[in-house]
Amino acid sequence: MPRIGAFVCWCGTNIAGTVDIEQVVQAVSEMSGIVYVKDYQYMCSEVGQNLVKTAIKEWQLERVIIASCSPRMHENTFRKAAKAAGLNPYLVEVANIREHCSWVHKNKEEATKKAIALIRAAVAKASLNTELIAKEIDVENRALVIGGGIAGIQTALDIAEAGYQVDVIEKSPSIGGKMAQIDKTFPTLDCSACILTPKMVDVASHPNINLYTYSEIESVNGFVGNFEVTIKQKARSVNLEKCTGCGICTEKCPSRKSKSEFDEGLRTRGAIYTPFPQAVPNVPVIDREHCLKFNTGKCGICEKLCPAGAIEFGQEDVLVTKKYGAVVVATGFDIIDLDKFGEYQYQNHPDVLTSLEFERLTNAAGPTAGKFIRPSNNKRPEKVVFIQCVGSRDVSSRGKSYCSKICCMYTAKQAMLIKDKYPDIEVYVFYIDVRTPGKNFDEFQRRAVEEYGVNYIKGMVGKIFPAGDKLIVHGVDSFTGDTLKIEADMVVLAAAAQAKPDAEVLGRKLAISTDTNNFFTEAHPKLRPVETHSAGIYLAGACQGPKDIPETVAQAGAAAAKVIGLLSKRKLVSNPCVSVVNEDLCNGCLSCLKICPYDAIAAKELATNNHGITSKRIVAKVNEALCQGCGGCTVACRPGAIDLKGFTNKQITAEVDALCH
Amino acid sequence: MMYSYYPGCTLKTKAQDLERFALISAQVLGIELAEQQDWQCCGAVYPLAEDEIAGKLSAVRSLAAAHSKGEKLITLCAACHHVIKRVNADMYSNEFVRKRVNNYLQLPKNYNGEAKVLHYLELLRDDVGFSKLAEQVRMPLTGRKIGAYYGCLLLRPSNVMNFDDAENPSILEDFITALGATAVKYPFRTECCGGYLTVNDQEANEMAANIINSAIGLEVEEILTACPLCKYNLEKELGTNTKVRIVYFTELLAEALAIK
Ligand SMILES: Cc1cc2nc3c(=O)[nH]c(=O)nc-3n(C[C@H](O)[C@H](O)[C@H](O)COP(=O)(O)OP(=O)(O)OC[C@H]3O[C@@H](n4cnc5c(N)ncnc54)[C@H](O)[C@@H]3O)c2cc1C
């Protein structure tokens, strides 16, 4: 029996409030193998760690039990402490008596009993722990950024500036994201394109950045330091190298029926198109669904007119596989569909707009060249009503329970932009609450009210009734209780922000998780906001939750710093808790190979010599660099030939036995 | 197909047209509606008091009777449909109501909200199908501008009634289109007509007037409804005005099937 020391943490009152520490210490000291027990308020603190280190040396401890929070939180901390005291770090075992015990129980007596049982299980397992030695693996020093909005752009630039290669994958034909669509930006009202387009050009021209636009992730394999990603470059039908961006093709294309995605459907575009004039790359793409050549075989005008001979109807999707050390997900967000909000007449009336359509409508480069007019009759509106929280803070099935965070600010911005150009237009904003925390944000919103005279009404709109060329907005002013009828010419809906529809699918490819609203989940909401639970994969921007540009850029910089930190290490220590095959027991059924999610198991031919007769048989073989230690194979193996180091079948059984004791 | 049919009191008195045309149309469409025996008044208003079950008993009797025959229960009057459908939802998901009602009624078998309640319009949409209905139309109402008036009872609360999108419904317009007429969507088509407030409240007149004016504004010639009370309120407000006519949907159905 090895010499075991146990360390019981109070975690302030987090554990000690619900678990009787004294009783636990008493019970643990009587467990077999235990030669030393110590409790302390914060075992993870420097003082606490020193207690562990000193005890290892003074008591010649061969195993260490830490009864504290989840191993996710501090297993590493204590492994390091053990290592510093000369003990193999894998001889440390954590009993989670916080998340699995004190936090989920109220009754002190029962929680104390459970804590003791959890420690008993850890002691049983630890007795069977063996020394494990981590190996070193190489790090591929190139990063991948998925999504080319401001988040992806900033991340890529920061990584590239540090001297590493970066590939950016953008699904649409151009980088830029939503920020390229926005007119002016709060809180300073500088023009969005003026601050974004230089960055887009920097991305395109940076020697360390490689752009894959009109491309998507096909599959992801591998692990931190060694991801293997297959990228699908969709057929653009235009040769990226040959095209000079002259624009003749887009001008002359006879098909004009497709709605411009960039202009939110407020304008049509050709079947061959560049989403917007400042697109990067400035190379058009053919929308094959609407192209006459692809549908009828006739036309081909673009091909005839192109002076560079860049049109290639025969292009096909191309798959490229590359290796990366780190991945940053920056796929952004969308605003919700308003199909379920019939009361606002969005489907029925052209003068009811989404906030994003409004951005296009006021944009100097937009469908009306910045002229502020009603889509229905091209006349300037006299009264405009903004409605906030359309689908935000809405717990019914048609909305989102969260606050979309950006709408209070962009609505104030949009209202002010109208008043600035046309002081005679009356502007109303219906709101539930005004939420404008942020540097200079509240001042910004107050300016809308105090300087520009925007009418803020605390209350909701029940319904909008189109009448003649007016939109009668029926709402309530909840301060006075009055019901209001406003004869508006235009209504702008601040539709809730939501996760991308394909976020979950992408998350599955990357093996990172999404929350209940399909936004990607960070590893820790406070302390690890740009990391995911999968090592080497980071998050930036609105794909993690609604955010404005300042926050997005800050997060992008943080993600880049993490990537640079990772890539700057030439080697990584691998996790030694990997599967091993007992070749004598393996019968070569390869069930393990089939269920392994990391492709870490292969078949190996084994030559055996039996009294001079050589025969061959198949056994499973684990690639330790790929194995992530999930343990799936150990369950699938019928003869029990495969086992997981650090979590052997024997160890688990010992734990269970101790729990049921 | 055989269905249990619940008519309700109004259909036997003030709203005989609603029923008469529904029944002859059903015959043509091959729908067998068997009027339930000994049906009782549905109570007319869904009782909101949570601890009171008396107002729900009659609906449960009809529901249980239909269920025991293994038939769907068809309703026609919007108010009856509203009451019966909501009581059924209570019987399905409200333990308190279910227990007390069953204790009181002592039915041969406990009733737990299993029956399926369909309004005649839902029957046309979901079981017959509007495209099939369109094939049976003998005298299409071509050129007639008809505005659907939904009222509240069929649509709300939408998570219980599950009739159509409460804010932007289309079932009646689809029905009108199937009959060959032109469906006109006017802004007030889902607003309340004033309901029972009509008895002593000026407000109700205004509400009905809004609906009528909104329809007339878009040159609607006929306003279609499935509710006797809506029809009453709208007609009362209309007075001698002949610009627009209020009709039951079943009347137009019979007309299009050439059996009116
Ligand atoms: C109406 C409106 C007005 C706004 N006004 C302001 C303002 O004035 N000031 C401000 O600070 N913020 C404003 N915002 C917020 C701002 O738009 C966001 O903060 C910003 O766009 C977030 O950047 P992002 O890169 O995270 O996401 P996005 O801008 O959404 O970019 C994501 C990019 O990733 C790409 N992508 C998505 N999925 C994939 C995939 N699977 N593979 C590859 N690529 C993919 C997308 O095509 C897109 O190019 C406004 C938002 C709205 C809706």
pTM of the model: 0.86
Last residue of a domain, one of A567, A587, A613: A567
In a domain, A352, yes or no: yes
Q: Which two tokens stand for residue A473?
A: 């907005």
Q: How far is the CA of A291 from the centre of ligand 1 (A)?
A: 28
Residues A70 and A160 in one domain: no
Residues A200 and A324 in one domain: yes
What residues contact B27, with CB distance under 8 A and at least 6 apart? none
Domain membership of residue A537 as a residue range:
142-234+317-332+501-567
- Given a contact cutoff of 8 angstroms between Cβ atoms, the answer to whether A164 and A208 are in contact is yes
- Given a contact cutoff of 8 angstroms between Cβ atoms, the answer to whether A394 and A401 are in contact is yes
Residues A343 and A480 in one domain: yes
Q: How far is the CA of A102 from the centre of ligand 1 (A)?
A: 41
E strands, chain B, are: 2-6, 32-35, 73-75, 117-119, 145-148, 182-184, 222-225, 245-248
Query: What's the whole-number average pLDDT of chain A?
Result: 95
Q: How far is B185 from chain A (nearest CA, A)?
A: 9
CATH number, residue A22: 3.40.50
Cβ neighbourhood burial of A289 (10 Å; 0-12, 13-18, 19+): exposed
Cα angle for residues A265, A269, A270 (degrees, 5° grid): 150
- Given a contact cutoff of 8 angstroms between Cβ atoms, the answer to whether B89 and B160 are in contact is yes
Domain count, chain A: 5
Instruction: Indicate the pairing of strand A92-96 with strand A63-68.
Output: parallel
pLDDT at residue A459 tops 80: yes
Q: Which of A113, A44, A150 is nearest to A661 (CA)?
A: A113
Q: Which two tokens stand for residue A184?
A: 């002016």
B217 CB neighbours in chain A (<8 A) are 467-468
CATH number, residue A469: 3.50.50.60
pLDDT at residue B203 tops 80: no
- If one residue of A549, A551, A553 were mutated to test the ligand 1 pocket, choosing by the most ligand atoms within 8 A of its CB, it would be A549
Distance CA B77, CA B30 (A): 21
Quote the pLDDT of residue A570.
87
Distance CA B185, CA A155 (A): 50
- Given a contact cutoff of 8 angstroms between Cβ atoms, the answer to whether A279 and A250 are in contact is no
What residues contact A451, with CB distance under 8 A and at least 6 apart? none
For residue range A98-134, what is the model confidence (pLDDT) as tens digits?
A: 999 999 999 999 999 999 999 999 999 999 999 999 8
Residues A218 and A294 in one domain: no
Q: What value of ipTM does the predicted structure carry?
A: 0.83
CA A628 to chain centre: 21
- If one residue of A175, A181, A266, A331 were mutated to test the ligand 1 pocket, choosing by the most ligand atoms within 8 A of its CB, it would be A331
Q: Is A348 on the interface with B (CB under 8 A)?
A: yes
Quote the pLDDT of residue A371.
92
Best residue in A343, A352, A460, A471 for a mutation probing chain B (most B CBs within 10 Å): A343
Distance CA A344, CA A385 (A): 11
Please tell me which of the candidates B159, B168, B187 has its beta carbon nearest to residue A347.
B168
Q: How far is the CA of A315 from the centre of ligand 1 (A)?
A: 30
Q: How far is B213 from chain A (nearest CA, A)?
A: 10
Quote the pLDDT of residue B196.
85
Residue A489: strand, helix, or coil? coil
Q: Looking at ligand 1, which residue's alpha carbon is closest to its atom 52?
A: A356
For residue range A124-181, what is the model confidence (pLDDT) as tens digits?
A: 999 999 999 988 889 999 999 999 999 999 999 999 999 999 999 999 999 999 999 9
Residues A627 and A517 in one domain: no
Q: Is A340 on the interface with B (CB under 8 A)?
A: yes
Distance CA B86, CA B81 (A): 8
For residue range B35-92, what is the model confidence (pLDDT) as tens digits?
A: 999 999 999 899 999 888 999 999 999 999 999 999 999 999 999 999 999 999 999 9
Q: How far is A397 from chain B (nearest CA, A)?
A: 9
Please tell me which of the candidates B165, B166, B188 has its beta carbon nearest to residue A465.
B188
Least confident of A169-183, A314-328, A585-599, B216-230: A585-599
One-letter identity of residue A523:
A
Please tell me which of the candidates B165, B188, B214 has its beta carbon nearest to residue A342.
B165
Distance CA A326, CA A164 (A): 11
Strand partners, A2: none
Q: State the CB neighbour count (10 A cutoff) for residue B120.
A: 25
The atom of ligand 1 lying closest to the CA of A355 is: 1
Please tell me which of the candidates A342, A465, A466 has its beta carbon nearest to residue B168.
A342
Cα-Cα-Cα-Cα dihedral sign, residues A473, A478, A479, A482: positive
Report which secondary-structure segment, H or E, holds B214.
helix B202-217
Q: Which two tokens stand for residue A433?
A: 């609450």
- Measured between its terminal Cα atoms, the distance across chain A in Å is 19
Site residues for ligand 1, CB cut-off 6 Å: A 146-152, 169-172, 177-179, 182, 185-186, 216, 330-333, 335, 355-356, 359, 406, 410, 413, 500, 502, 506, 541-542, 547-550, 552
Instruction: Indicate the pairing of strand A470-477 with strand A326-329.
Output: unpaired
A468 CB neighbours in chain B (<8 A) are 217
Cβ neighbourhood burial of A81 (10 Å; 0-12, 13-18, 19+): buried
Report which secondary-structure segment, H or E, holds B70.
none
What residues contact B110, with CB distance under 8 A and at least 6 apart? B102
Residues A100 and A195 in one domain: no
Q: What is the DSSP letter of A363?
A: -
Quote the pLDDT of residue A222.
86
Residues A345 and A468 in one domain: yes
Q: Looking at ligand 1, which residue's alpha carbon is closest to its atom 13?
A: A548
- Given a contact cutoff of 8 angstroms between Cβ atoms, the answer to whether A550 and A542 are in contact is no
DSSP string, B106-135: --SS---S---EEEHHHIIIIII-HHHHHH
Residue A605: strand, helix, or coil? strand
Q: What is the DSSP letter of A89?
A: G
- Given a contact cutoff of 8 angstroms between Cβ atoms, the answer to whether A365 and A193 are in contact is yes
Using alpha carbons, list the distances in angstroms from residue B104 to A558, B48, B64, B69, B94. Answer: 67, 19, 14, 21, 16
- Given a contact cutoff of 8 angstroms between Cβ atoms, the answer to whether A502 and A332 are in contact is no
HSE at residue B150, side-chain half, CA atoms within 13 A, is 26
Residues A43 and A115 in one domain: yes
Quote the pLDDT of residue A609.
82
Q: B130-256 domain in CATH 3.40.50?
A: yes
Q: Is A474 on the interface with B (CB under 8 A)?
A: no
Quote the pLDDT of residue A149.
98
Strand partners, A481: none
B216 CB neighbours in chain A (<8 A) are none
pLDDT at residue A645 tops 90: yes
pLDDT at residue A360 tops 80: yes
Q: Is A297 left (phi over 0), alpha (psi -120 to 50) or beta?
A: left
Cα-Cα-Cα-Cα dihedral sign, residues B129, B132, B136, B140: positive
The residue of chain A nearest to residue B166, with distances taken between CA atoms, is A342
- Given a contact cutoff of 8 angstroms between Cβ atoms, the answer to whether A559 and A546 are in contact is no
Quote the pLDDT of residue B64.
97
Quote the pLDDT of residue A643.
96
Q: How far is the CA of A179 from the centre of ligand 1 (A)?
A: 6
Quote the pLDDT of residue B86.
97
- What CATH topology corresponds to B2-120? Glutathione S-transferase Yfyf (Class Pi); Chain A, domain 2 (1.20.1050)
For residue range A74-87, what is the model confidence (pLDDT) as tens digits?
A: 999 999 999 999 99
Residues A346 and A376 in one domain: yes
Q: Is A485 on the interface with B (CB under 8 A)?
A: no
- Given a contact cutoff of 8 angstroms between Cβ atoms, the answer to whether A535 and A223 are in contact is yes
A341 CB neighbours in chain B (<8 A) are 167
- Given a contact cutoff of 8 angstroms between Cβ atoms, the answer to whether B174 and B213 are in contact is no
Which residue stretches of A376-513 are H helix?
A: 407-421, 441-450, 503-510
Q: Find where tokens 């019914």 sit.
A: A396
Confidence of residue A261 (pLDDT cuts 50, 70, 90): very high
Could you give phi then psi for residue A435, rounded to 5 degrees?
A: -120, 100
In a domain, A150, yes or no: yes
Distance CA A382, CA A393 (A): 30
Domain extent listing, chain B? 2-120, 130-256
